[in-house]
Amino acid sequence: MLENFINQFWPATVDGLSLGAIYALVALGYTMVYGVLRLINFAHSEIFMIGTVAALFTITTIGVSAPLGGLGLIGMLILLAVVGMVVSGGAAVALEYVAYRPLRRRGASRLAALISAIGASLFLQQVFALLVIPRLFDRPKEGGRLPVQAPEFVERSDVISIGDFVVRNDKLLVVVSAVVMMVALDQFVRRTKLGRGIRATAQDPETAVLMGVNIDRIVTATFAIGGAMAGVAAALYMMRFEETNYFVGFLLGIKAFTAAVLGGIGNLRGALVGGFALGLIELYGSALFGSEWRDVIAFSVLVLVLMFRPTGILGESLQRARA
Amino acid sequence: MRRAFSRGLVAAAAASTLVLSACGGDDNTSGGGGGTQTTTVKLGFMGDLTGENSGIVIPPRNGAQMAIDEYNATNPATKIQLVPYDSQGVPEQATALAQQALNRDKIVGLVGPAFSGESQQVGPILEEGKIPSVSASATNVTLAEKGWKYWHRILPGDRIQGTGIGEFIARALSAKKVFVIHDNQDYSKGIADFVTAALKGKGVTVDTDVIDPEGSDYASTINKVKPAAPEAIFYGGYYAEGGRLLKQLREAGVTARFLSGDGSLDAGLAKGAGGTNADGAVVGCPCLVDPTGESNEKSKKFAADYKAKFNTAPAIYSAEGYDAATAFIEAIKAGNADAEKINTFLSTIDVQGVTKQIKFGPNGEPAGGDVFVYEFKGGSYTLLGNSKDAKVG
């Protein structure tokens, strides 16, 4: 058992980080919306799914004659990320308009918004399975539930190779891109006027209104940014796996939400820490006990962390602490 | 002549009471040849005809339809009408449809249900209603262990399939080290366990790991396969996950031969694996998919007729659907027009079908148990032969 772990330590570390990077980006959407609205946006997993479909459609439309490596790959990734950000961000804003804003206006309870979120999630899944995927990818109606593959556009090669420590280009790109996006977002929220508005609303919505913050605008911005991050995650996912399906967000959404809670929900840096931690725990746990124990171990660790630190690794809200 | 006539009359009378009591006898087609009155009996076909997995249920439906059309074209005294029941593979839906088939349509037999899950639920209903069934594709082992008297299937269960594939890996690939992966669903774990047992019986070293069918990142499994350096990898599960797993294995530089069972016998495996990753993958199945008709004369004729009728080559289970319907047709030809008599006839039936000798054991299992292996190349698969003597290139 321990021997397995030692043998697989480096591969597990690399894979854990690259998996965790995607968790972290998706976790941002959960954490930002929770920070501002105290709402768990369960339809966020579908925002991610929509991003993967958009990215896949883009590659299929452009078409690639040969797998891309080096700069070509980076260029393609940037293009996919931009498409993903626009589509997922737009979808998140639309979702807020349709599913949450009317409830918020009427002062419905948070529980009602939660049900609305679950409903929106199921609705989007089925609409994509029944209508969007068959239409976009020219399939018979019953083909909408099967995975859709992209043409192979990634030339995979090892960029670092020191003994057991081998890093493949796509895995490295995932981690680097995720960290860059996180840092950019963190700076944005800390330094810009809009960021200050977001922090103010998270801290105390009523006082924020009195100080002249337009709450509706802040909420829209929050959904747009969270969605855009899911769009980047979708582009990275597409590069890693080159396929998607209508159900792709489900498990990933649960894991990302777990990562958000693990790191401290409402806390941007917590999402990063939680995502990487969860990815590593899953891979180390699988190496030690076998892949079937992956989720058991991940959630056991989550429960343990929450027992000793109920607000997660970094505490609930950075916005609050630093305000 | 006289004898045949009176026998036909008895059968017709029995059948017409069934039909009349059902829905006013508008299915009772009269006319035909020579002034004898022909009657029609109803045979059901149950399975997922419009849902997610309809791709593997429509071919056996076509096969059954073809067998019945051929039979009806001979102007028999008792014609057969195939009634489709679209269960979408959902057990709850299947049980409701089974009640409808029994009480409203008064079927005399059922081809299906297609899947094991729905078979588990529909079995007791058919047993109580004393309606014989022949499934063309349900392969779960426990179905044969229920003691059902009216249940049959035309192809052997997962135990025979798993053992056949396991022995094939040990013999044809002479592998000494095999990695077995499954996705923890009933079917997948079952077949993986039978393959593992067969391999161990041949003295092969087996490592195992499990993937999550809802996840898409199989890195932890691949990290285990790589250092184990197996000569072959067997995956128990369906093609969507199988293709994804194969893609990630090849991307990680694992070149060992990939094998799987009937759940992965679909061009979707190659699509999911991407590029040429699936080339050389070998998939076993108790079913015979033989579009070029290499295996026997009957199969050759079947393939040609099927292609002419449906304008597409026979696919998975189409020949089994044909054989399942043939079992009922033989029973009706022999003058058995009610469910009880058909069931008695099925226990002694012994005729050559397209895929095998149609003959059932007392538990409803087919008497013959061949497993066929197929090799993927360029996005589709071709028959290699019987797992007992097939060779890989």
Share the mean pLDDT of chain B: 88
Question: In the block, which residue shows the tokens 């626009």?
Answer: A86
Residue B187 has pLDDT above 90, yes or no: no
Query: Within 10 Å of residue A111's Cβ, how many Cβ atoms?
Result: 8
Q: Helix axis angle, B318-333 relative to B58-72, nearest 10°?
A: 30
Tell me how close the Cα of A188 comes to any Cα of chain B, in angstroms. 31
User: Which of B:335-374 have CB within 8 Å of A?
Assistant: none
In a domain, B272, yes or no: yes
Distance from CA of A11 to the nearest CA of B (A): 7
Please check the confidence at residue B3 and state whether its pLDDT lies above 50: no
- From A209-218, B30-39, B75-84, B302-311, the region with the lowest mean pLDDT: B30-39
Is the C-alpha dihedral spanning B153, B155, B158, B160 positive or negative?
A: positive
Res. B12: pLDDT tops 70 = no
Listed residue (B85, B1, B80, B15) closest to B42, CA to CA: B80
Closest residue in A to B238 (Cα) is A146
Q: Answer yes or no: do B173 and B246 share one domain.
A: yes
Q: In Å, how far is B113's CA from the nearest CA of chain A?
A: 20
Rg, C-alpha atoms of chain A: 20
Confidence category of residue B152, pLDDT binned at 50, 70, 90? very high
CATH number, domain of B352, equals 3.40.50.2300
What value does the mean pLDDT take over residues B336-344? Answer: 93
Candidates A8, A145, A251; nearest CB to B215: A251
Judge if B163 and B260 occupy the same domain.
yes
Topology given in CATH for the domain delimited by A2-146+163-322: ABC transporter involved in vitamin B12 uptake, BtuC (1.10.3470)
- d(Cα A257, Cα A263) in Å, to the nearest integer? 10
Co-location of B20 and B144 in the same domain: yes
pLDDT in tens, A162-175: 888 889 999 999 99
Helix (H) or strand (E) run with residue B118 in it = helix B116-129
Cα separation, B305 vs B299, whole angstroms: 10
Predicted local distance difference test score (pLDDT) of residue A316: 65
Residues B107, B27 within the same domain: yes
Average pLDDT over residues B323-336: 94
Residue with the larger pLDDT of the pair B31 and A145 = A145
User: Same domain, yes or no, for B27 and B126?
Assistant: yes
Opening angle at CA A223, ends A219 and A226, nearest 5? 135
- What is the pLDDT confidence band of residue B24, given thresholds at 50, 70 and 90? very low
**What's the gap in Å between the CA of A101 and the closest CA on chain B?**
32
The shortest C-alpha distance from B179 to chain A (Å) reads 13
B50 touches chain A (CB under 8 A): yes
Residue B21 vs residue B334, higher pLDDT: B334
B201 and B243 fall within a common domain? yes
Q: How confident is the model at residue B92, as a pLDDT? A: 92
Nearest CA in chain A to B207: A290
Q: Which residue positions in chain A have pLDDT lower than 70?
A: 142, 316-323
Q: Are residues B257 and B382 in the same domain?
A: yes
pLDDT tens digits for range B237-279: 988 899 999 999 999 999 999 999 998 998 889 999 988 999 9
Cβ atoms within 10 A of the Cβ of B350, count? 10
Between chains, do B211 and A241 touch, taking CB under 8 Å as contact? Answer: no
pLDDT digits 0-9 by tens, B275-325: 899 999 999 999 999 888 887 889 999 999 999 999 998 989 999 999 999
When pLDDT is cut at 50, 70 and 90, the band that residue B372 belongs to is very high
Q: Are residues B178 and B137 in the same domain?
A: no
pLDDT at res. B36: 61
- Tell me if chain A has a CB within 8 Å of the CB of B271: yes
Amino acid at the residue A115: I
- Whether the CB of B251 is below 8 Å from some CB of chain A: the reply is yes
Q: Are B375 and B280 in contact (CB under 8 A)?
A: yes
Q: Chain B closest CA to A276's CA: distance in Å? A: 15
Residue A19 has its nearest CB partner, among B212, B219, B272, at B219
CB B243 within 8 A of CB B218: no
**Among A265, A312, A304, CA closest to A285:** A304
Residue B16 has pLDDT above 50, yes or no: no
Residue B246 falls inside a structural domain? yes
Task: Classify residue B391: in a domain, yes or no.
Answer: no
Q: Quick one: B24 and B45 in the same domain?
A: yes
Q: Does residue B51 belong to any structural domain of this protein?
A: yes
Q: Are residues B81 and B142 in the same domain?
A: yes
pLDDT for the residue B11 = 44
Residue-number span of the structural domain to which B276 is assigned: 159-285+372-386
- Does A21 lie at the interface with B, CB-CB under 8 angstroms? no
- Which residues of chain A neighbour B215 with C-beta distances below 8 Å? 251
Torsion of CA B91, B93, B95, B97, to 10 degrees: -140
B312 touches chain A (CB under 8 A): no
* Residue A280 pLDDT: 96
Is residue B176 in some structural domain? yes
Same domain assignment for residues B232 and B216: yes
HSE-up of residue B47 (Cα within 13 Å, Cβ side): 28
Q: Give the Å distances, CA to CA, from B100 to B22, B84, B88, B97, B136.
A: 11, 12, 16, 5, 21
Strand order in the sheet with B282-285: B205-210, B177-182, B232-236, B257-260, B282-285, B372-377, B380-386
Q: Does any domain span residue B273?
A: yes
Q: What is the DSSP string of A93-147?
A: HHHIIIIIHHHHHTT--HHHHHHHHHHHHHHHHHHIIIIIHHHHTT--GGGGGS-
Please, which residues have CB within 8 angstroms of residue B45's CB and are 6 or more apart in sequence? Answer: B61, B64, B65, B82, B83, B84, B85, B110, B111, B112
Q: Residue B383: beta bridge partners?
A: B374
Residues B140 and B259 in one domain: no
In chain A, domain spans:
2-146+163-322
Coil, strand, or helix at residue A45?
helix
What pLDDT does A16 receive?
Answer: 96
Phi, psi for residue A35 in degrees, rounded to 5 = -60, -40
Interface test with B, best of A291, A294, A296 (most B CBs within 10 A): A291
> Where do the H-state alpha helices sit in chain A?
2-7, 9-37, 44-62, 70-95, 101-105, 110-127, 133-136, 169-191, 193-203, 205-210, 215-241, 248-263, 268-289, 294-308, 318-322
Evaluate whether residue B177 is within a structural domain.
yes
Check CB contact under 8 Å for B220 and A292: no
Q: How many domains does chain B divide into?
A: 2
Residues of B in contact with A242 (CB under 8 A): 247, 274
Q: Is residue B24 part of a domain?
A: yes
> SS3 for B318?
helix
Between helices A248-263 and A294-308, what is the axis angle to 10°?
A: 30
